[in-house]
A and B are shown apart, each in its own frame.
Chain A
Amino acid sequence: MKKISQSRMFLLLLPITMLWSCQTKDYSALVNKDIEEFRAYFTERFPEVELDDFADGVYAIDDNAREQWLAMEDFPPYSIAVEEGQALFENSFSNGKTYTDCFPEGGAVRHNYPYFDEQRNMVVTLEMAINECRSANGEPPLEYKKGDIAKISSYMAYISRGKPVEVKVSSQGAYEAYLKGKEFFYAKRGQLNMSCAGCHMRYSGRRLRSEVISPALGHPVHFPVFRLKWGEIGTLQRRYAGCNRNIGAKPLAIQGEEYRNLEFFQTVMSNGMHFNGPASRK
């Protein structure tokens, strides 16, 4: 009796296992379906906003705030960071090399990040690549949230403006990293029991006290950001850490796996938009 049921089991499972091993999944098709749904959510919620304009965050949906913001753009507060970033970028390391030895096109490569590194089986962000360039040239790493790294990243974003967002998810490993980022985005966390999606999807456009909530679509596209509240330039993951703290969740490492996967997911969702960083925000 036992024997029969086991062999039956095997016969039943055989075609399934065969299918499993022969089939290579079409990861980009799976991801494209998600992108379509994600985008549709926001274009239905804000029908008057063009896809690329979502890069302006809350200023794409709040006319009042937009006017003040546009006025600020006459003398954008991030421009000093871009200049300083350029100087840092062009400065040679003590071995005589510069960042251009790591980054092609004079550093106009913002749009190549984040990407999934198949060899290392992990997501690599621009800030991470900047620090890896430094250590490859015998320089100490920079602190990740702000300061020089945000300035260099701002300069690279600035000279990459207008380049399309085209993050690829074309392997099992990349898809898993993507799924982890996606799960992070939708999962409730922290003492306040909130998810990123809760505020930046379901309540986007609504007010939390006096703050209008930005749509999540295009979040990574305009970073780094000069934030008036910070009084300086900061990276996307610095902002992640802020929102994460506000919901009473346990702090996570900047450029740790969770935030890199989250950035990967959010940037994939912005595919088809165009990089326009750095930007200024309240």
Chain B
Amino acid sequence: MMHIYMIAAAVFFLFPSSLVADEPGEEQIELGRKVSFDSMKGNCLACHMMPGGEQPGNFGPPLIQMKARFPERSVLRRQIWDATEKNPKSIMPPFGKHGILSEEEVDAVVDYMYAL
């Protein structure tokens, strides 16, 4: 019995998100979609092709098949939070770091990305 608790605790500390994060609800994904398309917020379409967006820009790569390309959620979140961490010259705005989006909005955008 003791053992099982210990394993559970270890699993929790190693992979906290695997226990905490549920599949995001529709509302959350809808929020992420709104923030992504809003030209005063994410405005991702200015630079990225995105399913459902018209007249996309082409500074960055198309935002498709995100699950396959970003198996690690934290990697995708960091790209959106502060793209200059990976590429100091990046022209992609550091959405989280510069307060363009809130923590919650960045999370919602990430959830939306995985729904693409």
Contacts and interface: CB of A to CB of B under 8 A. Distances in A.
Interface of A: 191-194, 198-199, 202-203, 206-211, 248
Nearest to B97: A193
B84 interface: yes
A192 B45 CA distance: 15
B105 to A, nearest CB: 14
A206 B59 contact: yes
B98 A203 contact: no
B57 A206 contact: yes
Nearest to A211: B57
Interface residues of B, number: 16
Residue in A199, A203, A208 whose Cβ sees the most chain B Cβ within 10 Å? A208
A31 to B, nearest CB: 25
Contacts of B98: 191-193
13 contacts: A191-B100, A192-B100, A193-B84, A202-B89, A203-B91, A206-B57, A206-B59, A207-B58, A208-B57, A209-B56, A209-B57, A210-B57, A248-B100
Closest CB pairs A-B (n = 6) = A192-B93, A210-B55, A198-B91, A208-B57, A207-B57, A209-B57
Nearest to B53: A209
B66 interface: no
B99 interface: yes
Most chain-A Cβ atoms within 10 A of its Cβ — which of B45, B57, B94, B99?
B57
B71 to A, nearest CB: 28
B56 to A, nearest CB: 7
Given A206-B58, A207-B57, A208-B46, A194 B100 contact: no
Given A202-B89, A211-B57, 4 more contacts: A198-B91, A199-B91, A209-B46, A209-B57
A208 B100 CA distance: 19
Contacts of B55: 209-210
Nearest to B92: A193
